[in-house]
Amino acid sequence: MQADDARYLKRKYKGGSLDVHPTEKALVVQYEVEATILGETGDPMLGERKECQKIIRLKSLNSNTDIASLARKVVEECRLISPSRLPEVEQLLFYLQNRKKSAEKKEKKQIKPRDLTPFEGMELDEEANINSIDDYVELLYEDIPEKIRGATLILHLARNPDNLEELLQNETALGALARVLREDWKQSVDLATTIIYVFFCFSSFSQFHGLITHYKIGALCMSIIEHELKRYDLWQDELQKKKKADILSKEYEKALKKYHGLLTKQEQLLRVALYLLLNLSEDTRTELKMRNKNIVHLLVKTLDRDSEELLVLVVSFLKKLSIFLENKNDMAEIDTVEKLAKLVPCEHEDLLNVTLRLLLNLSFDTGLCSKMVHADLLPKLTSLLEDEAQRQIAMCILYHISMDDRFKSMFAYTDCIPQVMKMLFDCGEERFDAELISFCINLAANKRNAQIMCEGNGLKMLMKRALKLKDPLMMKMIRNISQHDGPFKNLFIDYVGDLAAQIGLKEEEEFVIECLGTLSNLTIPDLDWELVLKEYNLVPYLKDHLKPGSAEDDLILEVVIMIGTVSMDDSCAVMLAKSGIIPALIELLNEAPAYLIDLMHDKNAEIRKVCDNTLDIIAEYDVEWGKKIQSEKFRWHNSQWLEMVENRQMDEAEPFMYGDDGEPFLQNGDILERPDLFYSADGIIPADGAISPEFFTDFQNGDLLGPQGFPSSSLTDGYGQTGVTPARPATAYGFRPDEQFYYGYTASW
């Protein structure tokens, strides 16, 4: 409707219910607006009815306020409240005056990032009307105060989701807001905050994100945040200078008061701008753009603030970003963990919870885990085990820390172990939480921790629970305790019979493995193993499970270790030898090289290292196995190159692959018969290929090598240079594709 038709619009207000605001010192008035469009003759043509709400904030209300006078003032100034309701207003004000502050504080703690509350400066002395949007846009072309008023009126409209579609169609209004923000944001924090808040209302709905991108509001918000953080640093520097220079402190107090005022407004701006960016980051492509503009560093820098509402938002944003490796690495480069450590613990429950969740995401990185320990988070997290709301997350972080052997011993100097032991025993007959028992297993791997666990009736209670529930994880914890040498190992003597009894029974294999492992750790001189083997008839069990394929590898391994433990007793060794166990052990040993060859290329570097070293030892003592091992290593390290040569032979039939008679050199694809095809080693080997790969093993092992692995002087020319620079290394034996070869070459595939 046009402005000049306003005389044909009739509004009627009808008062409704009256109540107190749940969290603020304010009254909430519910009312109904009936708008009727009248014709030229005054007859109603079209009508619409809408329910509305008005909040009357009572900032001056305190314990000394005259309730009767305040109630009269509220009724006089608010036309929606009938004078006849004055007693009701007095009663509500009296309730607000005496409402417990603790309840208000509790409500304040529950503010979450998604609940962006109104800020100071949003109050208006008139009600915004969607039909007057053109008038509000006109104000955006005036001076700063008028621009703020116009933007605030539009903001009041935008806070009602029902108006967003209509505002979306008004390109003039949105374009004007974007232009004013771009041109004038440095002139007024209030203006910038209000306009960004308008676009934030749109950002709460994914279908409007394209609109915000169109006006480049996200990039502008990034620039504004960066600028405001720099201003914050300047304010602090100036404040410190005045504090040092002002002996009487009057000027400093004045500057400090001004600083707090500026800080409040700036934090309102930062909060709404960051919230808008958080909404936009639902699109990972947009989030990547933010990362390229250093969003992580800006957020971490904001962690220095004291505003709990702002910190909840910032930490939530960082938690969302931390699920991507690149963002996590950015956080690792700066003091993110150190700043987060200052927030643990804190009274704000939501802030504490989201901080712990961010730390949990970061704790998957071992380097950041180390930083957490150095930031003194270990005792802080331990204290949170008593908080039922935060216990689970705190325990998961502690579990990650306990995985590092460097930090296991540090738990002994906290209250952690008594707490987790109590939690274990409080579970009753229920299954333990996976996090709790896994954490205890890690802790038990340290000797001092194990001693604390065994204090009092600790070990007795653990054994009783493990044997009753047949829990393999709890038995694994007991097994870790049993591996440590010391006087407390003798405590296990009382439970040897109970453990041995489990082996003969048809229990779960995992549980039996842990029982066997625990018994194997009991290298106690006073223990009569011969009596144990006879009483529980364990020799047939041990012999039967040494047969290949009779059980899983883990169980066979534990059986072998058990045999090694009991064989320390001479009488047991004789008894086992007579039982025929020795041939079974030799048969297993004969299978070991093949098994090690399979593991030679395992993804785990430590496993590869052990296998390589073991295979080298086997190769030294067995010629046949040595050839097989060497051939396998040769094939593995040259597999891609061999495949390329074979493909060229078969597909392209190049001339050098054939002899003078036109017959191919290689029969049946046996590429290993022609080592001269693999190496460019002129002057070292003859061209007839008579030297096999064993020659290169000797070459690499140092027989023909000088310092730093280069050929000795007998293989160099008169100027100390080698006669030829080989196109490939002399041999790949002993190297992996990711390691450097001799002569400065690296594996390019």
Q: Residue 650 — pLDDT band, cuts 50, 70, 90?
A: low
pLDDT reading at 30 higher than 80:
yes
Give me the pLDDT at residue 100, please: 60
Distance between CA 622 and CA 64 in Å, rounded? 98
User: pLDDT by residue (tens digit) across 451-507?
Assistant: 999 988 899 999 999 999 899 999 999 999 999 988 888 899 999 999 999 987 777
> Structure pTM?
0.68
Q: Is 446 exposed, middle or buried (0-12, 13-18, 19+ CB in 10 A)?
A: buried
Mean per-residue pLDDT for 428-452?
90
Which SS3 state, helix, strand or coil, does residue 705 take?
strand
Distance between CA 394 and CA 383 in Å, rounded? 9
Give me the pLDDT at residue 333, please: 94
Mean per-residue pLDDT for 346-374?
95
pLDDT reading at 712 higher than 60:
no
pLDDT reading at 146 higher than 50:
yes
R_g (Cα) of the chain, nearest Å? 39
Give me the pLDDT at residue 706, please: 40
**Topology (CATH level 3) of domain 294-403:** Leucine-rich Repeat Variant (1.25.10)
Helix axes 434-444, 472-482, angle to 10 degrees: 10
Give me the pLDDT at residue 486, please: 84
Provide the residue type at 113 as one letter: P
Give me the pLDDT at residue 116, please: 53
> What is the share, in percent, of the chain residues with pLDDT greater than 70?
79
| DSSP characters over 433-493 | PHHHHHHHHHHHTSHHHHHHHHSTTHHHHHHHHHHHHT-HHHHHHHHHHHTS-SGGGGGGG
Distance between CA 292 and CA 281 in Å, rounded? 13
Tell me which of 742 and 191 has the higher pLDDT.
191
pLDDT reading at 24 higher than 70:
yes
- What would the two tokens of residue 479 be? 């097994």
Tell me which of 167 and 65 has the higher pLDDT.
167
Domain locations in the chain? Answer: 9-98, 132-270, 294-403
Q: Residue 9 — pLDDT band, cuts 50, 70, 90?
A: low
Give me the pLDDT at residue 181, please: 96
Q: Residue 365 — pLDDT band, cuts 50, 70, 90?
A: very high
Q: Which residues pair with 51 in a beta bridge?
A: 32
Mean per-residue pLDDT for 137-143?
93
Pairing status of strand 9-20 against strand 26-38: antiparallel
Mean per-residue pLDDT for 625-642?
79
Greatest mean pLDDT among 47-51, 380-384, 547-551, 696-700 lies in 380-384
Any idea what DSSP says for residue 664?
Answer: B
Mean per-residue pLDDT for 560-578?
90
Distance between CA 341 and CA 216 in Å, rounded? 35
Question: In this structure, are residues 596 and 607 in contact, taking their beta carbons and an 8 Å threshold?
Answer: no
Give me the pLDDT at residue 246, please: 63
Question: In this structure, are residues 298 and 273 in contact, taking their beta carbons and an 8 Å threshold?
Answer: no
Lowest mean pLDDT among 30-44, 279-293, 356-370, 536-550: 30-44
Per-chain mean pLDDT for the chain: 80
pLDDT reading at 327 higher than 90:
yes
Q: Is 407 exposed, middle or buried (0-12, 13-18, 19+ CB in 10 A)?
A: buried
Give me the pLDDT at residue 44, please: 65
pLDDT reading at 660 higher than 60:
no
Give me the pLDDT at residue 325, please: 93
pLDDT reading at 359 higher than 80:
yes
Q: Residue 135 — pLDDT band, cuts 50, 70, 90?
A: very high
For residue 418, how many other CB atoms are within 10 A of its CB? 14
User: pLDDT by residue (tens digit) across 287-325?
Assistant: 999 999 999 999 999 999 999 999 999 999 999 999 999
Distance between CA 634 and CA 685 in Å, rounded? 18
Distance between CA 250 and CA 255 in Å, rounded? 9
Q: Which helix (H) or strand (E) holds 209?
A: helix 209-214
Tell me which of 176 and 250 has the higher pLDDT.
176
Tell me which of 526 and 443 has the higher pLDDT.
443
Provide the residue type at 616 as one letter: D
Distance between CA 247 and CA 688 in Å, rounded? 95
Q: Residue 651 — pLDDT band, cuts 50, 70, 90?
A: low
